[in-house]
Amino acid sequence: MSASERIKGIQVHRPIIYGSHARLLTEEEKLTAPAGHTHRWTVFLTSAATPPPRRSESGEIIKDDIDWLPGGADDLSYLIKKVTFKLHDTYPSPNRAFDKPPFAVTETGWGEFVVQIRIQFIPESSEKPLTLNHPIKLHHWGAPIENFTIPIGNGQPEPITNTESTTAVNTPASTNVPPQSVAPAKTPNDDQQPVSTTENNGNNVTQTQTQTQVKEEISTPAVMAEDQVMTKDEIQVNNSQGDQPMVTENAQKPETNTNNDDQNDTSHSEIIVDTTGTAQQQIQQEEQLQHEQNLQPISIASILPVHSWQYDEIIFSDPSKAFLDILNENPPIPLPYKNRRSNNQREEYDSSALNNNNNKKSKKQKGRQSTINSRANTSTEFSGTPSSTPAPTTPSVVVQQQQPVIGIPGELASADIPLEFSLEMEKSEYNKLNEARKKIVEQMDKWRERLITQEKELNKLKEEVKSM
Ligand code: SLL
Half-sphere exposure of 413 (CA within 13 A, CB side): 30
Cα 252 to ligand 1 centroid, rounded to whole Å: 13
Cα 171 to ligand 1 centroid, rounded to whole Å: 11
Q: What is the pLDDT of residue 357?
A: 56
Q: What is the pLDDT of residue 105?
A: 98
Per DSSP, the residues of 280-348 read HHHHHHHHHHHHHHHHS-B-GGGTSPEEEEEEEEEEEES-BHHHHHHHHHSPPPPPPSS--S-S-HHHH
Which of 317, 327, 322 minimizes the C-alpha distance to 9? 317
Query: Rounded to an integer, what distance in angstroms lies between the CA atom of residue 127 and that of residue 142?
Result: 43
Cα 354 to ligand 1 centroid, rounded to whole Å: 36
Indicate the length of the chain as a whole number: 468
392 residue type, one letter: P
Cα 41 to ligand 1 centroid, rounded to whole Å: 12
Q: What is the pLDDT of residue 344?
A: 77
Closest ligand 1 atom, residue 183 Cα: 17
Residue nearest to atom 9 of ligand 1 (CA): 109
Question: Are the CB atoms for 371 and 382 separated by under 8 Å?
Answer: yes
Question: Are the CB atoms for 411 and 392 separated by under 8 Å?
Answer: no
Cα 224 to ligand 1 centroid, rounded to whole Å: 26
Q: For the chain, first and last CA: distance in Å?
A: 76
Q: What is the pLDDT of residue 222?
A: 32
* Residues contacting residue 286 through CB under 8 Å, at least 6 positions apart: 238, 271
51 residue type, one letter: P
**Enclosing H/E stretch for 32:** helix 27-32
Cα 231 to ligand 1 centroid, rounded to whole Å: 24
Q: What is the pLDDT of residue 140?
A: 65
Q: What is the pLDDT of residue 304?
A: 87
456 residue type, one letter: K
Query: Rounded to an integer, what distance in angstroms lies between the CA atom of residue 165 and that of residue 36?
Result: 17
Indicate the top mutation candidate among 113, 114, 255 to test ligand 1's pocket, ranked by most ligand atoms within 8 A of CB.
113
Q: What is the pLDDT of residue 121?
A: 98
Q: What is the pLDDT of residue 1?
A: 67
Q: What is the pLDDT of residue 403?
A: 65
Closest ligand 1 atom, residue 109 Cα: 13
CA distances from 288 to 234, 323, 356 (A): 12, 67, 34
Q: What is the pLDDT of residue 226?
A: 33
Listed as ranges, residues in the chain with pLDDT below 70 are 1, 140-277, 292-295, 352-404
Does ligand 1 come within 6 angstroms of the Cβ of 88?
A: yes
| Bridge partners, 41 (sequence order) | 22, 107
